[in-house]
Each structure stands twice: as structure tokens, then as C-alpha cells.
Structure 1
């Protein structure tokens, strides 16, 4: 695979995962080529890989579009993440050092500060940073790869669950329990706290408490 093809795939994938290109959006080869400075061949190759990633659907005579994840599938993905991220939290608790403890405490403090300023989307970013830090600290490369693949398909929910009434406060309490267990070196508690956290998010999605799609234009996402 050429360097150009690889970088083209990465750029297009990042735009989809970030929400810059919205779910169900049509991916017209000539338009994608112009927008990303890609050759038509590079676009076609990237779309094939993105279909394999589960991010794009290609339909005969209709072209490609960004795959939209239903609430039902989002619940299943969150359930799978609960198991994998529970494992990661367990591993992090077993491996945690002083630098890792400081990093987690800072992530949690930043989320609290943003919520106090009613910056819900900023708090959502801090939430993602905390999960990413726990995953990195776990040192579990297989869990990291699988979670990355699952999370990329549900990125829009990251910015919507925070809008559920009462969910932001609950999220901080749940994260506090996770961080406390990891910093305290309690693997069983860390695993259980992470599973409980993501199970609660899944329950919110299952009960269809998620608000309608929000305008992410100010963030470069739709």
C-alpha cells in the first residue's frame, strides 16, 4: 500500500469517526477526492477499507455512505465495551504507578471543572480522555485495538449521552469510583466499577433517553 493511499484512508477515517462527516452522508468519489486531495483510485481503496472497518456501507448502483449505528446496535457495542474496558481497568489497577495515578486524578478533576462551568461537550471530551488514559495505562494491546474499533462506530453517542438529564453528575460519580479503585490498586473493584458505568450508559440508550442529534457545527462535526 502506498503512503498516499494510507494517509488518504487515515484522513477520511478520522473525518468519519470525529463526526465531521455525518452518519448516512453520501461519499461521492469525485467530491471526496476534491475535499481531501485524493486521487479517485485512493478514494476507492479507502472506501473498501472503511467498509471492512464497519464505518462505510457500499451499495450497488448507489455508491457509498457513512454507516449509521442504531440505538440497538449502540447498546450492544456498549455492552461489549463494558467487558473489554472492565478488563482494561483491572489491568490498570494492577500496573498503576505514581505518574499514572496523577494522570487519572487530573483527568477526573478536569471533567469536574468543565461540568461546573456547564461545558457539557468539553466534559464529554474529558470523559473520552479518561477512558483513553485508563486503556493506555492497562498496557493491554488487544483490548486497546478492539475498543478502538468499537468506539469509532459510536462516536456520535459520546456527545449525546452527556445531554441526558442527570447523566453528567452520574458520570462523574461513576468515574470517581473507577479512578479510586484503580489508584487504590483494587483490580476487582476497578473492573466492576467500569462495567457498571458503561452498563448505565447502555441502559440510557436502551430506554431511548438520548436527545436528538445535536448541532456540532461549532466543533467541526455534525
Structure 2
């Protein structure tokens, strides 16, 4: 059984990853005590842990807040994440079972339906879930843990990308290739598909739309 501060840190980390606690939001200890059901000391220890993970920052005379990640930093984080995701994709292709391949394919169908329906909020959540599924199949705890810590810092930027016209269909095609390569048990192809997807994400992050509603 985990300590109260570890439970609190997990809860806060998950809320930041989902975007429930948006960048810049002030984190009031008294409120967190009520929300998380732990002591003030446990809340402070949890916040210290998230500060070390660069998910939270302490502002002099203002307390703690969810850290704001600039576009330039988001690119650097994605550059670090890319080789880890490539490793997970390779391991997933080496270790995937028939049942896991079916689960990945079913999830991809759900993603395709979300894009067809124009539900970008759901699609963004499904992308995160897909990467989680690939990590589960890969069974590489260290890489998965590192990716999780990086992923939490990118939620706002990923949401903004999903709102760009045309971007969901581009990423869906890239992730379709990733799932196909893993299901075909082709490690080289899976690794290449992961790298191609994250290079595409980096390109999209650095691209400024030409006009509101214009092509991405």
C-alpha cells in the first residue's frame, strides 16, 4: 500500500495529464487537502515530487501552480520522447500477443470513428490511451515510466494540435501504420512508424497556421 503523499502525487499527476488541471492553475494546498483526502504535509510532499518532475512550479510569494510549457520546450520534450516511443514500439512488435493485437486494432477503430465524427476531444484522449496500450504491450517499465513523465507536460500542446483542421486525419494515418506494424510483428517497421509520427508532431508544433481555420 502506497504512502498518502504518493497517492496524492499520482492523483495530481493524472489530473495534469488529462488536462483537468490546466497550465498556470494555482494549486492551493487547503483545497488539495479536501480534494485528495490527505494531510497538508502529504500534499506538500506530493507537490515537491511534481516540482522535481517539472509538472509543477513554485512561484515566490504565490505558491505552487501547474507549470506552463512553451512551444519551444514542447518540441524539446517531444524530441526526448521520440526515441523512447520508438523503443516501446519495437518491443511491442517483438512481444505482442494475438489478443493484444486485436485490442490495438479495436482501439484504432474507435479512433477512426472519433475522427470521422469530428470529436477532437475524444480523439485526443484516445491517442494518449493508444500510447499507453503500446507501452503495456512493450512490457518495458523504465521506458514507459519516462514517457509518462514527459507526456504529462505536453497535454495542452497536444490538445491545440488536435484542433487544427486536417491534423487528426494526418496523425490517424501515422498511428494506423504504427498499429499495423506492431500487429504484423515487424520491429523495424514499428520503430520507424513511431519515429515518423513524432517527427510529424514536432513539425506541427513548430508550424504556425497561415490563418484561422486554414490548413495545418
SS, match of residue 57 in structure 2:
strand
For normalisation by structure 1, the TM-score amounts to: 0.87
Deviation at 1:2, TM superposition (A): 7.3
Could you say which residue in structure 2 is the equivalent of 1:131? 131
Q: How many residues in Structure 1 have an aligned counterpart in Structure 2?
A: 212
Could you say which residue in structure 2 is the equivalent of 1:220? none
Instruction: Check 1:120–1:65 CA distance in 2 against 1; reply closer, same or farther (3 A cut).
Output: same
Correspondences of 1:63-78 after superposition (within 5 Å): 63-78=63-78
SS, match of residue 58 in structure 2:
strand
For normalisation by structure 2, the TM-score amounts to: 0.89
Correspondences of 1:34-45 after superposition (within 5 Å): 34-45=34-45
Instruction: Check 1:85–1:168 CA distance in 2 against 1; reply closer, same or farther (3 A cut).
Output: same
72-81 or 2-11, which deviates more: 2-11
Could you say which residue in structure 2 is the equivalent of 1:94? 94
SS, match of residue 153 in structure 1:
helix
Could you say which residue in structure 1 is the equivalent of 2:118? 118
The answer for unaligned runs of 5 or more in structure 2 is none
Could you say which residue in structure 1 is the equivalent of 2:20? 20
Deviation at 1:154, TM superposition (A): 1.1
Instruction: Check 1:126–1:30 CA distance in 2 against 1; reply closer, same or farther (3 A cut).
Output: closer
In 2, the alpha carbon distance for the partners of 1:100 and 1:149 equals 24
Asked if structure 2 preserves the Cα contact closer than 8 Å seen for 1:71 and 1:208, the reply is: no
SS, match of residue 61 in structure 1:
coil
Instruction: Check 1:194–1:37 CA distance in 2 against 1; reply closer, same or farther (3 A cut).
Output: same
